[in-house]
Structure 1
C-alpha cells in the first residue's frame, strides 16, 4: 500500500485563477454555443415573465381592489383580466423553464462527453512514468466524479446564474423606477451582500479543493486495497488496512464538516440581510404610505420584488457551492490535461517497409530516477534471427532493457537502434507492432477468445485455427462449447496460468512481429503445461529475433547467446556450452538450478 498520497497535482493546485478557469470552461463549451445561446434567450423570457407578476399585483391593488371610483362590475372585470394575464405569464414561465432545462441537459451531456473523451485519449498517450506516480483510483476520480461535478455546473448553474443576474438587475431597475428613495435605502445593504459573497467564495473554494483531494485519496486507497485483497488477507493486514482507511476517512469527514460550517455561516447571513430589507421596506415604505407619498399597491409590489430579489440570492448561495465544487474539479481536470509526460515524437516518424530485426544498444544510460541509473554505458548488439537469453538477479536491469526496446522510456544517453534506425525516429505505433511481448502476467480482456487473440486485427477462421495449432491451444478451444466465440471472464479467471501463456503466444503469431520478447513468460507455468509451452515457443521463435528473460533451463539452452547481468552491466556472455564449462557466475547459477531439482531459482536463472 502507498503511504505517500501526494500526487502530481497537489503541488500546483491554486495556480489557476477564476478568470483562467472560466476561459477554459467556455472553450470546452464553444462547439455547443448554439444551445447555450438558446438557453440565454429563454432566460430573457423567463425573467421577463417573473418580473411582470409583482407589477400586476400592484395594478390589482391600486387600480381595482382599493380604488372605489369605478363601478364594481368594472373593477371585477379588471381583476379578471389581470388574473388571466397573471396565469398566462406563469404558463409562459413554466414552458420557458421546461425547454431551457432540456436544452441545458443536452448541451451539458455533449460537453461532458467531449471532455471525458479528451481526458481518456490524453491518458492513453502519457508515458509510464506518469502512471507509476499516479494510481488508477485517482485517475478514475478525474474521469468520473470531477466530470460529473462539471456536468452539474453546466446543466444547473451557468444559465441559472445568468437568469438570476438578469433578474437582480431587472428588480433593481423596477424598484428605482417605482420609488428611487426606497430603492436607494435598500441598496445600502448591497456592500454587505457583496462582501459576504466574496468571503464565502474564498473559503468555499478552499474547502471544496480539500474535499476533492481527499476523495481522490480515498478512491486510490480503495482501488489498491480491493485489487490486492488476497494479499491483505494472506498477510493478515486487515486491521492495518482498516486503520489506514479509517484515518483517510476521518480526514475527509473533517474537511466535509469544515465546508458545512462555512455554509452554516453564509446562509443565515443571507437570511438576516433579507429580514433587514423587509424591515426597511415596512418602516420606510409604511411611513410613505401613511404620508400619502406611496400607494399600498406599490408597497406590496416592493415586498414582492424583495422576495424575488432574495430568492436568487438564496439560490446563488446554494448554486455557489456547486460552482466552487466544479471549479475545484476543473482545476484537477485541466491540470491533468496540461500534463505533458509523453515521449517526444519525431517531426516525420519513420515506418520502414521491411527490415531484418537487428537490435543494437549503444552506450545507453538510463534510470527511472536520473540520479540512480539502472543501465550505465550499456552496449549490446543482437544479429537478426538470433535468440538472446538474459539472466541475472532481480534488479540487474533485465526488464529495463525490454522497456527501452519497446520504447516505454527513452534512454537518458546513448542510442537504441532497430535495423540501424534510432527508435526515437520511428513511429511508436509501428515500433510496437514490430516487437511482440509476452510477459508473466497475461491480461485477458472480457470478451470472446477470438477477440482476445486478434484484438484489433482481422483473420479468417482457417488462419486463426492454424495460429491456435502452432500455439498449442487448438485442442483446448475445440473442447469449449462455443469454440472461438466462448467468452472469458475478466482477468482470465476461466483460464489456467499455462493456458493464458499459450493465448499470449497466439496473439504474437496473429500479429507476426519481427522481434519477440519473453519477459519471464514461463516462470509460473505448471509442469503439465510446460511441454505445450515449449512447442509454442519453438513455433513462435521461428524466423524472428528473440530476446528471452527466463527462469527455466530449457528455455535458456535454446538461446544462441546468453548474457549474465548484475548491477546494470554485462558480467559474462557466451553460448550455453561455453558458459557452462567456465567457472563464472553462469555456472554458479546452473549449480543452484540443479540443486533445486529443476525448480526456478529465487534470484538468478
Structure 2
C-alpha cells in the first residue's frame, strides 16, 4: 500500500494547482507515469508496436513515391510495365502492410492488458482499503459513492492508457515523416508544415473549452450512481410514503444534467474533429499547388511531390491521437483524485496476534472505563465499566439515544473506543488477530439482513455445518415451524433481503445464523423486537437452556425479556446510572420504572 500511496503523491501532489482543478494536462501525464512505472515491460512492448506501426505508415509514403517514379511514370512513357517491377512493388506494399499489422496487434494488445491490469490493481487496492477502514468511516460515506470510487473512478483514472502507446508511436511517426519530407523537398516540407501551428492552436483551444465540461461529467457520474443506489436501498420507504414521483424526478434531474453535459462535450468535439481533419487537407492542396509549379520548373520530381503530400496527410494523425490522449485527462485526473482520497484515508483498524484459548461454556466479558463519541467534545458513552461472568445474561435498558446500540458495536469491535477497553476472557479485543473475535462472538443487529439465497444458505452463511445443526439453531430461534412449512424447507429461496418473510421471521432466521456458530458470547441488539412477546420469551428461555451456555448481552425493552436477565444495566446519557435485577430496579428507581412501564403501556395500547 505504501508504494501505491507514494505513486499517488507523485501524481497529484506535485503542486497545488492540480488540487485546485488546474494543470490537468501535467497531472494527467504524471498519472500515466504511475502506470508506466508499474507496468514497464507491457508499456515497452506496446510502444515498440506503436513505433513500428508509425514507421511503416511513413514507409508507405516512400513506397508510394518510389512506385510513382520507377513504375507509374515509366509506364506512361513506355506504355509497358515489367513483371519484375510489378512484383517488387507488390512485395513492398505487402511487406509493409504485414509489419504494420504486427505493430497494430502489439500496440492494441499491450495497451489493453496494461489498462486492465492497472484497473484491476487499483480496484483491489480500493477494496482492501475499504476492508481496513473502520465501520465509522463507512457510515460517513454513501454506498453509491463507494461503488463509484471502485468502479467508474478507477476506469476513468486509467482511461488514457488506451491511446497512450498510439500517441507515443505516432509522435515517432510524425518525427520520421517530417524528416522524410525535408529529404524529399525542403521547400514543399516548409510549405506543408505551415499548417502545424493552426493544428496545435485548434487542439489547445479544444482542450481549454472541453476540460471543464469533461471534469463535471465525471463528477456527475458519481452523483447519479449515489442517487440510484440510495433510491434502490430505500425502496420500501419510497413506496410506502408515496415518494416514487419525487424520487424519480430527483434522479431524472441529475441524469438530465449529466446528459446535457455529455452532449455539450460531444458538440465541442464534433466541432473540433472536422476542423482538425480539414487543416491537413488544406495543407495538401497548398503543397500540390506549389508542387505542380516546382515540377514544371524542374526544381523537383513528381514522386517527391506525391511523397510530401501523402506524408502531410498522415502527420495530422499524430496530432489527433495526442488530442485523444489529452481529451481523456480531465476525467482521468478527477477519477484518480477520488481514488486517491480513499487510498490515503487514515484510521484503519489494527489487529494483534493473540487468539482466545479454546474453552467450553460462555466467555467472560469485561468493559473497563469505556468512552466513545461520534462528534468531538460530545461524548456519547462515558466511564462505562461492568463485567458479565461466563454463562450469565445481562440486559441493557435505556431510552432512545442512551448509547445501547453504540455499546454493542464496541463490544463486537465494529468500532474502537476513544478510551477504555473491552476484554473477552481477559484479552483486549484490540490485541486479537483478525477473525479471532468472530470465532467466539456473534451479534444479531436490530435490522435483520437476509441474502437472496436459501434458508440453508442464509443460516450457514459459509460455515461448515450440517442440516441437523441448522435445524437445532432454528428450533432455539423458534423458526423451525415456519421454515418447515415453506415449499422447499431449508432449500426455499427467500428473495432479496428476505422480502418473502415477515419482520419477525427475518429476525429469527438472523438469530439462527448466529446460534449455529455456537458463540460463547452472544450480543442481541433488540434482535427480537418484531417477534411476539410470547415467542420472544421462549427464544430467550431456550438460549439460557442451550447446551453451549453462551454469555448473553441483550438490548431489551419488554418486561418479560428484561426479567429473564441475571442483571440489568440502566443507561442514561451514556452512563450506567443503576444496576441490579429487574425487580430491584423497579423498586428503587422511579426513572427505570417509568421507562419500562411506558414501553409496556405503548405495546398494550398499540
TM bucket (normalised to shorter chain) is 0.7 to 0.9
- In structure 1, the partner of 2:276 is 270
Matched, 1:21 2:25: no
What does the per-residue CA deviation read over 1:227-271, in whole Å, with 9 as the maximum and x for residues that have no partner? 223322333334543453344334434533543454356435524
Matched, 1:65 2:44: no
- In structure 2, the partner of 1:138 is 145
Aligned residues of 1:470 and 1:539 also touching (Cα < 8 A): no
Report the 3-state secondary structure (helix = DSSP H, G, I; strand = E; otherwise coil) of the residue aligned with 1:524.
Answer: coil
Q: 1:455 to 1:239 in 2, by over 3 A?
A: closer
- In structure 1, the partner of 2:429 is 423
Matched, 1:368 2:343: no
What does the per-residue CA deviation read over 1:457-480, in whole Å, with 9 as the maximum and x for residues that have no partner? 212344444333433334444444
Deviates more, 1:563-572 or 1:282-291: 282-291
* Equivalent-residue separation in structure 2 for 1:202 and 1:372 (angstroms): 48
Once superposed, what is the RMSD of the aligned Cα atoms?
Answer: 3.2
- In structure 2, the partner of 1:448 is 454
Aligned residues of 1:61 and 1:297 also touching (Cα < 8 A): yes
* Equivalent-residue separation in structure 2 for 1:482 and 1:249 (angstroms): 43
Aligned residues of 2:369 and 2:384 also touching (Cα < 8 A): yes
Report the 3-state secondary structure (helix = DSSP H, G, I; strand = E; otherwise coil) of the residue aligned with 2:215.
Answer: helix
Matched, 1:298 2:308: no
Offset at residue 19 of structure 1 (A): 4.2
TM-score (norm 2): 0.86
Q: 1:539 to 1:71 in 2, by over 3 A?
A: farther
Q: 1:81 to 1:428 in 2, by over 3 A?
A: closer
- In structure 2, the partner of 1:559 is 565
Report the 3-state secondary structure (helix = DSSP H, G, I; strand = E; otherwise coil) of the residue aligned with 1:380.
Answer: strand
Report the 3-state secondary structure (helix = DSSP H, G, I; strand = E; otherwise coil) of the residue aligned with 1:377.
Answer: strand
Q: 1:69 to 1:556 in 2, by over 3 A?
A: closer
Report the 3-state secondary structure (helix = DSSP H, G, I; strand = E; otherwise coil) of the residue aligned with 1:43.
Answer: helix
Matched, 1:568 2:578: no
Report the 3-state secondary structure (helix = DSSP H, G, I; strand = E; otherwise coil) of the residue aligned with 2:413.
Answer: coil
Deviates more, 1:175-184 or 1:265-274: 265-274
* Equivalent-residue separation in structure 2 for 1:341 and 1:286 (angstroms): 73
Offset at residue 118 of structure 1 (A): 3.0
Counterpart pick for 2:465 among 450, 459, 463: 459
- In structure 2, the partner of 1:314 is 320
* Equivalent-residue separation in structure 2 for 1:269 and 1:250 (angstroms): 29
Matched, 1:577 2:587: no
- In structure 2, the partner of 1:169 is 175
* Equivalent-residue separation in structure 2 for 1:160 and 1:463 (angstroms): 61
Report the 3-state secondary structure (helix = DSSP H, G, I; strand = E; otherwise coil) of the residue aligned with 1:495.
Answer: coil
- In structure 2, the partner of 1:351 is 355
Long gaps (5+) in structure 1: 1-10, 601-605
Q: 1:458 to 1:172 in 2, by over 3 A?
A: same
Report the 3-state secondary structure (helix = DSSP H, G, I; strand = E; otherwise coil) of the residue aligned with 1:166.
Answer: helix
Q: 1:110 to 1:306 in 2, by over 3 A?
A: same
Matched, 1:51 2:58: yes
Deviates more, 1:324-333 or 1:386-395: 324-333
Matches within 5 A, 1:161-310: 161-198=167-204, 200-201=206-207, 203-260=209-266, 262-263=268-269, 266-267=272-273, 269-271=275-277, 273-310=279-316
* Equivalent-residue separation in structure 2 for 1:538 and 1:598 (angstroms): 27
Report the 3-state secondary structure (helix = DSSP H, G, I; strand = E; otherwise coil) of the residue aligned with 1:248.
Answer: helix
What does the per-residue CA deviation read over 1:500-538, in whole Å, with 9 as the maximum and x for residues that have no partner? 222222222222222111101111124675465345544
- In structure 2, the partner of 1:595 is 601
* Equivalent-residue separation in structure 2 for 1:587 and 1:398 (angstroms): 18
- In structure 2, the partner of 1:127 is 134
Q: 1:83 to 1:556 in 2, by over 3 A?
A: same
Aligned residues of 2:50 and 2:170 also touching (Cα < 8 A): no
What does the per-residue CA deviation read over 1:90-118, in whole Å, with 9 as the maximum and x for residues that have no partner? 34434543465455445544443343333
Offset at residue 541 of structure 1 (A): 9.3
Counterpart pick for 1:468 among 461, 474, 480: 474
* Equivalent-residue separation in structure 2 for 1:424 and 1:234 (angstroms): 42
Q: 1:179 to 1:279 in 2, by over 3 A?
A: same
What does the per-residue CA deviation read over 1:250-296, in whole Å, with 9 as the maximum and x for residues that have no partner? 44345335434543564355245424532442344343323322112
* Equivalent-residue separation in structure 2 for 1:414 and 1:122 (angstroms): 26
* Equivalent-residue separation in structure 1 for 2:522 and 2:33 (angstroms): 49
* Equivalent-residue separation in structure 1 for 2:495 and 2:459 (angstroms): 14
* Equivalent-residue separation in structure 1 for 2:285 and 2:576 (angstroms): 88
Aligned residues of 2:184 and 2:307 also touching (Cα < 8 A): no
Q: How many residue pairs were aligned? A: 584
Aligned residues of 2:157 and 2:334 also touching (Cα < 8 A): no
* Equivalent-residue separation in structure 2 for 1:536 and 1:448 (angstroms): 25
* Equivalent-residue separation in structure 2 for 1:241 and 1:470 (angstroms): 42
TM-score (norm 1): 0.86
Report the 3-state secondary structure (helix = DSSP H, G, I; strand = E; otherwise coil) of the residue aligned with 1:176.
Answer: helix
Matched, 1:379 2:389: no
* Equivalent-residue separation in structure 2 for 1:318 and 1:354 (angstroms): 62
Deviates more, 1:396-405 or 1:278-287: 278-287
